[in-house]
Amino acid sequence: MSPVPRPLRVCQFVATAFLAGLLAAGAALPLVGTLGAYARTSAKGFDALPADLRASALDQSSRIYDADGGLIATVYARDRTVVPGDRIAPVMRRAIVDIEDHRFYEHGALDPTAVLRAVRRNAGSGRVAQGASTLTQQYVKNVFVEAAGDDAAAVRRAQRQTLDRKVRELRYAIGLEKSLSKEQILTDYLNIAFFGERAYGVEAAAERYFSVHAADLSLPQAALLAGLVQSPSAYDPIAHPRLAKERRDTVLRAMARYGTVREEEARQAAAQPLGLHPSAPRQGCATAGDGAGFFCDYVRHVLLTDPAFGRTPARRQALWQHGGLEIRTTLDPKAQQALQRSVASHVDTTDEAAAAMVMVRPGTGRIVAMGQSRVYGSGAHRTQINLGVGTKAGGGLGFPTGSVFKPVVAAAALENGVRPSQRYPSPYAMPWPAMTDCAGRRYPEAGEVHNDSPSLVGPFAMPEAMAKSVNTYFARLEADTGLCKVATTAGRLGITGQADGSRLQVVPSLTLGTNDLTPLDVANVYATFAAHGMYCSPVAVTSVRTPDGRGLSVPRAGCHRALSAGTADAVTGMLKGVVEDGTGKPAGLTGRDSAGKTGTTEASKQVWFAGYTPELSGAVVVGDTDRPRDLDGQSIGGDVVGRAFGGTLAGPVWHDAVEGALDGEPAGRFTSGSDSSSGSGSGG
């Protein structure tokens, strides 16, 4: 027999497509003349359509994991995880074929038998009583719907029941049947289909309704999911369990009719309840547990601002929402839980004041915990402003640091030849000494700097002045070291500007912590002391992989020496004195080396404690964020504060968080060099 001429073959395809179009429209008219005319005029257009369907990568969920592999949060425009065919239960594959296109393995892109049968039935009923699209055609339609994204008008156009759309779908379906195996088409369909409850693809659907993977679906579970694709909203088992069960049982009967399962198996499955075990969508950082929403948000800003994840903001945003990334992070779940327990136990979410804390592993730059007393999200007593970081990372404006900046001045002095034994008279009050900044601007002797108490007078050496937080001592030390050298040392420790992105104010009051910094800034400075002078840029992301397993470049800590080991260890020795018998004594740990410094800002609007052990560095700030005012007299954590000090208000938050984070870990020791300098004293 001679082959069918190509134009006639095309006309046959178009004719069948026309029947499918009439079927979709519910037509019941004489077909012969109309069909011939349509076939003749459409053959050329059909032949001109491209055969290859260029489907873009499917939207997939990105998942953020902690350092132990636990899921922090899932972010997506469409909740989908694409899985290969061998990770979809065979019973699921058969269920969708039996209910949607039971001759799938027997026909090509179009099933003429099904089309003609449906046309006859629809013509007899005067309405669309039965469809005839093959799974391949349904897949093509879903590709166009997927490409429309969230554009409602584009989605309607992709779903429009027109002859032109049917012809186009058929042309692409023919190409797919030639280029892909039936098994691959079926897998692609199961990954693109919408199953309701914001679940796209069979893997997300299995997790949403049954909290299992698609590979582990049972017969009744597979039958329920297969029944959903016809109308996900009408058969939603959560909203409409009765209708969902009826639909599931219809699928089971179809599977028995076509020999996929035995009649008895289908009856037993139909006798079972729906057996739902739904998992709520964990969409976005607001769903992160243990207060990790702020860390999650920090990770988001890393990916949205680093060119490694896309050359433009739009590309980075698309990657974040649609890319199906596997994002591994530095978050230590035990440290995060300890931090959140601590801030929640000391400061209530409804307090006007808020507490924020960040913890970093010395010598690595790894951020292991980040949180605050307020809940991440929108609504009453919630916020999406991360007080632990600056505005560039989605955070706040920072806070004046008070005396937690004094160790930076001490480090600058030690780096420039001043010894810890250096003594100054340190009166209660004195004029600010004359100083010159890095631009050569001279600040003459002027104004007044004073200590916190009239009884706090010298002379003092550096360790005791640190323990007692003597302002007049550090004003003189800053002047003798050089204001510019202090600023330069701060820069080597990562303090190059303020939290709002403005330049660091290099003025005489620098030593008193008048610049606005963040807990992350301060925790990382103190981590450098703990790491014997090795500075590491803060990092939150350890790896990012695309769905095909390709690794993307991630920011590195870039550890390098910022201070000599001798300087860093000498600062540690002085800060040990602060927690052993100084203003930070309430924060000191039992049975574990610790060092730290308190800070109380002007009018007690903010209080700080920053400290570290050999294993962990952390910084806490407590302050009134909405309209900063004196913390004295405020109710914080259920108690009215008499007089706010860093050691008594922020110190206990640090103590409990660090103690919990390090519970069970061997206690490291500071080096002998850091034991050689200590001070004594008391005060706030």
Say how many CA atoms lie within 13 Å of 193 toward its Cβ: 27
3-state secondary structure of 681: coil
pLDDT in tens, 218-247: 999 999 999 999 999 999 999 999 999 999
Residue 128 confidence (pLDDT): 44
What's the rounded Cα separation, in Å, for the pair 668 and 615?
A: 7
pLDDT of 315 above 50: yes
Give phi and psi for 348, each to the nearest 5.
Answer: -80, 155
pLDDT in tens, 492-548: 999 999 999 999 999 999 999 999 999 999 999 999 999 999 999 999 999 999 988
Q: Which residue type, as a one-letter code, is found at position 342?
A: S
pLDDT band at 377; cut points 50, 70, 90: confident
Residue 90 confidence (pLDDT): 97
The mean pLDDT value for 37-58 works out to 52
Give phi and psi for 634, each to the nearest 5.
Answer: -80, 155
Say how many CA atoms lie within 13 Å of 664 toward its Cβ: 5
Residue 34 confidence (pLDDT): 42
The mean pLDDT value for 650-665 works out to 96
What's the rounded Cα separation, in Å, for the pair 407 and 469?
A: 10
The mean pLDDT value for 426-447 works out to 96
Residue 143 confidence (pLDDT): 87
Q: What percent of the chain has pLDDT over 90?
A: 68
The mean pLDDT value for 430-437 works out to 96
β-pairing verdict for 442-443 and 435-436: antiparallel
Q: How far is CA 572 from CA 360, 595, 612, in A?
A: 16, 6, 9
pLDDT of 484 above 90: yes
Instruction: Give a three-class secondary structure readout of 227-260.
Output: HHCCCCCCCCCCCCHHHHHHHHHHHHHHHHHCCC
pLDDT band at 625; cut points 50, 70, 90: confident
The mean pLDDT value for 38-64 works out to 60
Domains and CATH numbers, the chain: 6-48+79-270 (1.10.3810.10), 399-517 (3.40.710.10)
The mean pLDDT value for 638-644 works out to 89
Burial 554-567 (b: 16+ CB within 10 A, else e): bbebeeeebbeeeb
Using the structure block, give the residue that is written with the tokens 């922020």: 650
pLDDT band at 627; cut points 50, 70, 90: confident
Enter the tokens of residue 449: 């700097």
Contacts (Cβ under 8 Å, ≥6 apart) of 623? 353, 354, 399, 605, 606, 607, 631
The mean pLDDT value for 316-340 works out to 94
Q: How far is CA 191 from CA 59, 60, 95, 251, in A?
A: 10, 10, 15, 20
Residue 159 confidence (pLDDT): 64
pLDDT of 6 above 50: no
pLDDT of 125 above 60: no
Range of lowest pLDDT (43-47, 97-101, 580-584)? 43-47
What's the rounded Cα separation, in Å, for the pair 150 and 93?
A: 28
Q: Could you tell me if 244 and 236 are in contact, meaning their C-beta atoms sit under 8 angstroms apart?
A: yes
pLDDT in tens, 150-199: 666 766 665 666 666 777 778 888 888 888 999 999 999 999 999 999 89
Residue 673 confidence (pLDDT): 58
pLDDT of 16 above 80: no
What's the rounded Cα separation, in Å, for the pair 226 and 189?
A: 12
Q: Could you tell me if 168 and 122 are in contact, meaning their C-beta atoms sit under 8 angstroms apart?
A: no
Range of lowest pLDDT (6-20, 253-267, 354-368, 560-574)? 6-20
What's the rounded Cα separation, in Å, for the pair 31 and 33?
A: 6
pLDDT of 67 above 90: yes
Residue 162 confidence (pLDDT): 64
Using the structure block, give the residue that is written with the tokens 């631009």: 439
pLDDT of 91 above 80: yes
pLDDT band at 148; cut points 50, 70, 90: confident
Residue 131 confidence (pLDDT): 52
Residue 146 confidence (pLDDT): 81
The mean pLDDT value for 255-265 works out to 97
Q: How far is CA 198 from CA 135, 209, 279, in A?
A: 22, 11, 12
pLDDT of 126 above 80: no
Q: What percent of the chain has pLDDT over 70?
A: 85
Residue 96 confidence (pLDDT): 97
pLDDT of 570 above 80: yes
pLDDT of 36 above 80: no
Q: Could you tell me if 607 and 402 are in contact, meaning their C-beta atoms sit under 8 angstroms apart?
A: yes
Q: Which strand (E) or helix (H) includes residue 277?
A: none
Number of neighbouring beta carbons within 10 Å of residue 172: 25
Number of neighbouring beta carbons within 10 Å of residue 341: 16
What's the rounded Cα separation, in Å, for the pair 369 and 300?
A: 15
